[in-house]
């Protein structure tokens, strides 16, 4: 595996994730999440938007001071005031980065009231300014996917010439599809002079449920930085979920020979912490980190995994740090699962005893959605009392 195949993970839980209405985190919580992200091996942490508020500025500055390994990045609009404020916050980091952006699509140009040439001028002066402050500068043409292709190539070239070291291509409104996501990255890498000197990043939103697929397609086309958040937290339908892209790259290395620096065994703990501090619970059937992602209830599935776990599992729960059992007892469960579960609880049953308990277990499961260990222990006490 060569370095060309190393994909950098840029986590923006604390910036784009926290922008979700209602997901505000306290200063202490942000510092804790940043420390966990750093420990997990995230390459770049986007810690906030320093000009947005005093609180954001303090959080980015303190995260910059405390972080040992990851690059610490702050967001700034395309003006000197934002960029200076961002630099003031990130400059304390061992490895600081300024991320500056401007909306380049016709819709966004309309909002900033800049024509194409004026915007080119603005990009040139703001990226040059950022580069004079910091040797690690990321530039994003917001709404890149809906920007005219020729104009997109032109502004990317200007940003590279002005000193950007990472070019991020955001699908700001979650509009693209995998084929287009790949095509845009490939085209930019092929046609923009200087493209081979920078890293291309992909930043996808999930409005059509495509964020993970679009990010992976961009990587196949040459992007080497994925921007993502824990649990896919983010505005509207969220951002690319870190756990999904990282595990997809790990599980399908046969088709996608890329590697990240993530210690995947730390994913579950981070997912739970982000859900707690953001107040955004994870849906039960969410890929990788949902409560049900590794649970089997139906008799056929339980029997399968008890005989060979690979029959219904494409990755090991332990790989993402799950230590709990993968068998859920319920009305679809079969005898084999009940026997195995009771054995785990210390009850070794003869076949006739199992038959008796199984009948009563099914009756209970018809009345109760979830069967806990305590319910099974109570069933066993009842059968002891009845014999």
Angle formed at CA 211 by CA 207 and CA 215, multiple of 5 degrees: 150
* Nearest residue to Zn ion, scored by beta-carbon proximity: 16
- Least distance (Å) between residue 237 CB and ligand KIV: 12
Q: Is 170 in the site for ligand KIV (CB under 6 A)?
A: yes
Provide the token pair at 259.
């590697």
- Of 72 and 320, which has the nearer Cβ to ligand KIV? 72
Is 124 annotated as belonging to a binding site?
no
Spatial contact of 39 and 11, defined as CB atoms under 8 Å apart: no
Q: Is 17 in the site for ligand KIV (CB under 6 A)?
A: no
Q: Is 50 in the site for ligand KIV (CB under 6 A)?
A: no
Single residue of 101, 139, 258, 294 touching ligand KIV by CB under 6 A: 101
Q: Is 142 in the site for ligand KIV (CB under 6 A)?
A: yes
Segment contacting ligand KIV by CB under 6 A, of 121-129, 153-161, 165-173, 360-368: 165-173
- Of 77 and 341, which has the nearer Cβ to ligand KIV? 77
Segment contacting ligand KIV by CB under 6 A, of 29-37, 61-69, 168-176, 215-223: 168-176
Please state, in angstroms and as integers, the Cα–Cα distance from residue 349 to each residue in 330, 346, 356, 357, following that order: 19, 10, 10, 9
Is 239 annotated as belonging to a binding site?
yes
Is 301 annotated as belonging to a binding site?
no
| Spatial separation of the C-alpha atoms in residues 181 and 142, rounded to whole Å | 14
| Spatial separation of the C-alpha atoms in residues 257 and 172, rounded to whole Å | 27
Is 16 annotated as belonging to a binding site?
yes
Q: Is 16 in the site for ligand KIV (CB under 6 A)?
A: yes
Q: Which of 262, 267, 240 is closest to 250 using CA atoms?
A: 262
Give the list of residues 6+ apart from residue 194 with CB closer than 8 angstroms, or none: 157, 160, 161
For residue 72, the cross-strand partners are 45, 96
| Spatial separation of the C-alpha atoms in residues 368 and 214, rounded to whole Å | 41
Q: List residues near ligand KIV by CB under 6 A.
A: 16, 101, 140, 142, 168, 170, 172, 203, 205
Positions at the binding site for Mn(2+): 16, 203, 205, 239
């Amino acid at each position: 595996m060569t370095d060309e195949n190393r994909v950098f993970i840029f986590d923006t839980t604390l910036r784009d994730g926290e922008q979700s209405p209602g997901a505000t985190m306290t200063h202490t919580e942000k510092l804790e999440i940043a420390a966990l992200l750093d420990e997990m091996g995230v390459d770049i942490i986007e810690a906030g938007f320093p000009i947005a508020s005093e609180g954001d500025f303090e959080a980015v500055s303190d995260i910059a001071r405390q972080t040992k390994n990851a690059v610490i990045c702050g967001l700034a609009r395309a003006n000197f005031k934002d960029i200076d404020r961002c630099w003031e916050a990130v400059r304390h980091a061992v490895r600081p980065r300024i991320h500056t952006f401007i909306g380049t699509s016709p819709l966004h140009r309309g909002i900033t009231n800049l024509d194409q040439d004026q915007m080119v001028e603005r990009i040139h002066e703001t990226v040059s300014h950022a580069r004079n402050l910091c040797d690690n500068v990321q530039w994003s043409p917001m709404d890149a996917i809906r920007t005219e292709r020729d104009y997109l190539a032109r502004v990317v070239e200007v940003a590279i010439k002005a000193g950007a070291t990472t070019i991020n291509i955001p699908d700001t409104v979650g509009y693209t599809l995998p084929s287009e996501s790949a095509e845009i990255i490939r085209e930019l890498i092929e046609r923009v002079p200087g493209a081979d000197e920078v890293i291309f990043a992909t930043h996808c939103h999930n409005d059509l449920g495509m964020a993970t697929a679009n990010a992976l397609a961009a990587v196949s086309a040459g992007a080497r930085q994925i921007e993502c958040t824990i649990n896919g937290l983010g505005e509207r339908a969220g951002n690319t979920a870190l756990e999904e892209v990282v595990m997809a790259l790990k599980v399908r290395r046969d088709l996608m020979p890329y590697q990240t620096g993530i210690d995947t065994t730390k994913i579950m703990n981070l997912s739970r912490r982000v859900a707690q501090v953001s107040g955004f619970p994870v849906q039960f059937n969410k890929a990788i980190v949902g409560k049900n992602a590794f649970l089997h209830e139906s008799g056929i599935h339980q029997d399968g995994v008890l005989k060979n776990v690979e029959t219904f599992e494409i990755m090991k729960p332990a790989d993402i740090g799950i230590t709990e059992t993968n068998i859920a007892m319920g009305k679809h469960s079969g005898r084999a699962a009940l026997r195995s579960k009771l054995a785990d609880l210390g009850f070794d049953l003869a076949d006739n005893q199992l038959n008796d308990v199984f009948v009563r277990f099914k009756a209970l499961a018809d009345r109760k959605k979830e069967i806990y260990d305590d319910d099974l222990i109570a069933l066993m006490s009842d059968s002891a009392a009845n014999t």
